Amino acid sequence: MDYAMLGSSDLRVSRICLGTMTFGTQNSEADAHRQLDVAVAHGINFIDTAEMYSVPPNAESYGRAETCIGNWLKRQARDRIILATKISGPGRSLNWIRNGDLAFNRKNIRAAIEGSLARLQTDYVDLYQLHWPDRNTPIFGQYRFDPGKERDFVPLEETLAALAELVKEGRVRHVGLSNETPWGVMEFLHQAEKHGLPRVVSVQNAYSLLNRTWEMGLAEIGFRENVGLLAYSPLAFGLLSGKYLRNAHAGGRLNLFPGFGQRYAKPNVEPAVAAYIELASASGLTPVELAQGFVASRPFVASTIIGATTLEQLGEDIAACAVSLGDQLLQQIEALHLRYGNPAP
């Protein structure tokens, strides 16, 4: 297993991170613990979760993933695990979380971290992330900024000041963002520098062969400001594994939870998936090896977040991240990218 420093932090994370949004719904707690054990046995020290998980989000599944992890974590050497979680934000009608009051203000941030720490059965988290922006932004399949949807939001300085308190108290070691835009990242960095507040060390955004929008502005920010990308959905909800092309009714989130994958319900997704799968076959690779190997090879990716519902899938994902793609294959991938662009932003 390879490791890297996460942005400007002192966190030495495995280049593979175990994502846990299936824990508690698609995976039982026993399944979750087996996945965690296998991940650690492979050298993975980085675990990502969120108060909202498992998915799809609802009142019954809220907090289940953190609870599953907490019951496992209490039997582990805490200082050997890099644990990340996230606070849910406004704009998504999650009324069962803090009665729908989800603005990133001091009251809500403190309530959220207290709940997460209790479920995780730990005194601190290594990385605390804002799951999506408080303000109006296009996220989760939306791709155009709409000024007509503007709403009030907590000033970023106020949010950072509340997070700074948690860092000072030792409840949080570092802070990060998720589903963020170039403006948001730069403004958080600006406010941190201006007011002596914690700098964000990472951004957890979608990144895959179908969605390389990170490269269109955020990659330069990450490089110049030393902010690492935590790449989620490297298999694009399983589409890049090819299972939905082989069997339109294959088990998986896209079929189990209709409407959950709106990011991938766009016209150019299926032909792009077919093209990448054909390239993988012609190159002697599985579709998973091509997709995971590509993401893991990008120099701006600090860690690739993988998720699975079976141990077989988990093992395949871990192995695929170590696959080396030669220059010729990377050029062929670029040719397809120029043809299909980012069909699932």
Helices (H), the chain: 29-41, 64-73, 106-120, 156-169, 182-195, 218-225, 243-246, 253-256, 269-282, 287-297, 311-320, 327-340
Number of compact structural domains in the chain: 1
Q: What is the pLDDT of residues 30-47, one digit of tens each?
A: 999 999 999 999 999 999
CA dist 329 and 102 (Å) reads 45
Q: Which helix (H) or strand (E) element contains residue 336?
A: helix 327-340
pLDDT band of residue 61 (cuts 50, 70, 90) is very high
Domain harbouring 176, CATH code: 3.20.20.100
Tell me whether residue 154 is in a domain.
yes
Which is catalytic among the residues 3, 53, 62, 340? 53
Distances (CA, A) of 48 to 27, 93, 288: 16, 23, 21
Tell me whether residue 280 is in a domain.
no
pLDDT at 249: 61
CA dist 45 and 81 (Å) reads 5
pLDDT at 35: 98
CA dist 64 and 29 (Å) reads 9
pLDDT band of residue 252 (cuts 50, 70, 90) is confident
Evaluate whether 45 touches 79 at the Cβ level (below 8 Å): no
pLDDT band of residue 79 (cuts 50, 70, 90) is very high
53 among known catalytic residues: yes
Tell me whether residue 117 is in a domain.
yes
DSSP 146: -
The domain of 183 spans 3-238+293-324
- Residue 246 scores a pLDDT above 80: no
pLDDT band of residue 257 (cuts 50, 70, 90) is confident
Mean pLDDT over each residue of the chain, to the nearest integer: 96
Tell me whether residue 345 is in a domain.
no
Tell me whether residue 206 is in a domain.
yes
**Residue 200 bridge partners (DSSP):** 175
Tell me whether residue 305 is in a domain.
yes
CA dist 207 and 115 (Å) reads 29
Tell me whether residue 336 is in a domain.
no
CA dist 344 and 159 (Å) reads 30
Q: What is the pLDDT of residues 266-286, one digit of tens each?
A: 999 999 999 999 999 999 999
Q: What is the pLDDT of residues 191-232, one digit of tens each?
A: 999 999 999 999 999 999 999 999 999 999 999 999 999 999
pLDDT at 261: 75
Evaluate whether 101 touches 108 at the Cβ level (below 8 Å): yes
Tell me whether residue 53 is in a domain.
yes
User: Above pLDDT 70, what percent of the chain?
Assistant: 99
